[in-house]
Amino acid sequence: MDLGIKAAFASEMAAARAAEAAGDMALAKHYLERAHVLGQRWYAAHVQTHFHMLRLALKQSDAKEARGQLVRLIGAGPFHLAGWVPVGNTGGADVSATRPMPIPADLQVYLEGHSLRNGLILRGVLVAVLAAAYLLFMR
């Protein structure tokens, strides 16, 4: 993650924490969704946003959102290994986890030229090594 995206992601996450601390859960979710759009191409940031969305859902006793976030936390790994994320998806349980969405205009500048497919070959080799290790040592 380059410094510009990292700073924008950190800003959205900080705004989400501030909104939550002020008791404005809808605004906190809004900022988490924006952070998700920025961070979804990087595994750690992607998982971090879903973890915070899950925590917010549990705090609000929102079972549907909590279930949706658990599914997204589990699914983030395989999608990243495959090199596919639904561009612009806000990450909430109120939208399909596979639905691409428009990127907000003010966030587009941070994501130009970035693609999850850039590291696809390296991820493929990693999966092959893990599969081979499993087959060799788990017999």
Q: Which residues contact 63 (CB under 8 A, 6 or more apart)?
A: 57
pLDDT for the residue numbered 121: 65
pLDDT for the residue numbered 120: 61
Q: Region 23-46: what's the mean pLDDT? A: 94
**41 — pLDDT class (breaks 50, 70, 90):** confident
Which amino acid is residue 67, in one-letter code? R
Instruction: Using the predicted structure, report yes or no on whether residue 37 has a pLDDT greater than 90.
Output: yes
CB atoms within 10 A of CB 131: 10
